[in-house]
Amino acid sequence: MATINKNLSHYDKNTVPNAKDFRFGIVVSEWNENITSGLYNGAIGALLENGAGSENIITWQVPGSFELVYGSKRMIETQNVDAVIAIGSVIQGETKHFDFVCEAVAQGIKDLNVQTDIPVIFCVLTDNTLQQAIDRSGGIHGNKGTEAAIVAIRMAELRKLSSF
């Protein structure tokens, strides 16, 4: 495993653009809420730590990870955001449902990135076990929500710089 014994959420704050002038959307799945709430907290913490104002962070909840694509699309269409973070958690079960949901969400978020001018950040854990999800939502492997927020800031900055 590539992440064994590594916390991938450490970053050099000096390399991250100041987020004070950006508006962020977060669409978070209620399914596996014990995991998605940790990811959400990591994302919020990183955005605030890097200058985003709480008034410039819009949060919407959707029932599950499959609904993240629609929620992100509507966020882009209605909230004048500079980036969207889609937060979810899908844990392998006994059926192929896992495969269908993961594929659909990944493709849907990719499609939004191709079809719109607003970056949508994929922060969907697709783990084999609950423990793997715990380890990546604030556990021994850090917090993918933190990482997604840093990506969102960098992509918002790229969008701003490339629009001139």
Q: What is the mean pLDDT of the chain?
A: 92
Specify the 3-state DSSP secondary structure of 50: coil
* Alpha-carbon separation of residue 72 from 31, 92, 110, 123, 142 (angstroms): 16, 24, 11, 12, 24
For 6-64, what is each residue's pLDDT tens digit?
A: 565 777 888 888 999 999 999 999 999 999 999 999 999 999 999 999 999 999 999 99
10: annotated active-site residue: no
The residues facing 25 across adjacent strands are 58, 84
pTM value? Answer: 0.92
| 124 falls within a domain | yes
Active-site residue, from 97, 110, 115, 158? 97
User: Domain span at residue 72?
Assistant: 22-162
Within-domain flag for 79: yes
For residue 4, tell me if it sits in a domain. Answer: no
Q: How confident is the model at residue 162 (pLDDT cuts 50, 70, 90)?
A: confident
Count of domains observed in the chain: 1
Q: What is the CATH number of the domain that holds 122?
A: 3.40.50.960
Helical pair 144-162 and 33-49, crossing angle rounded to 10 deg:
50
DSSP state of 160: H
